[in-house]
Amino acid sequence: MEPTDFDDVFATYERPIYGYVLKMVENEATAEDLTQEVFLKIHRGLSSFEGKSKLSTWIYRIATNVCLDHFRSSSHKKGRATVSLEEELPPEGEGAQDGVPGIDEGVVKKEMSGCVREFVDELPQDFRAVVVLHDFQGLKNREIAEILGCSLDTVKIRLHRARRKLEGALGSSCEFYRDEDNVLRCDRKADPESGENE
């Protein structure tokens, strides 16, 4: 049964929400401030929560909106692009490109090396939110659609395109290998333009 008392809600969700916000905003101090804002909103709204969705969905929706408000604010001008999602979903079977092992099977996991996380951080906001919710937080597409206030098809499109972007970036910038624990890792390829002159 889901907690209904604020102290229990805070104890249950504070760490995962902070982790989610941190992956979204990439800055510990900002993540702490925004997490505090999220729980202030939860505290104010918990008594009127009607249970039309799961409590976790409601909480992640609040966290996502706080992050998006942060990105839209005048104090955050990083120039990340938003992407039109009106194109159709690609045909079934289109997915990972040759030479980038297993990206569609879930390379974007908690076990990813810092190198891969850097590429996730460079995704447009809408794409990053879907990847973080799905691959880092382990949420299902239907719940992500509720959190983001969009259709299930839109979530699938964003996730597909985010992974395609990651495939391209990773394939051109990283050498892939599996470590001793059989976890997929990558090392940055040398930048040919930064090579030493002989």
Helix (H) or strand (E) holding 15: helix 6-25
* CA-CA-CA-CA dihedral for 130, 131, 133, 134, to nearest 10: 110
pLDDT at 80: 44
Does the pLDDT of residue 51 top 90, yes or no? no
Nearest to 84 by CA among 158, 15, 29: 158
The tens digit of pLDDT for each residue in 135-186 reads 888 899 999 999 999 999 999 999 999 888 888 877 777 776 666 766 556 6
Higher pLDDT, 172 or 110: 172
The two structure tokens encoding residue 28: 């510990």
The residues, any chain, with a CB within 8 Å of residue 44's CB and separated by 6 or more, are none
3-state percent helix, strand, coil for the chain, nearest multiple of 5:
60, 5, 35
Domains of the chain by start residue, with CATH: 6-72 (1.10.1740.10), 103-189 (1.10.10.10)
What pTM did the predictor assign? 0.66
Long-range contacts of 186-190 (CB under 8 A, 24+ apart): 186/113, 186/115, 186/116, 187/115, 188/115
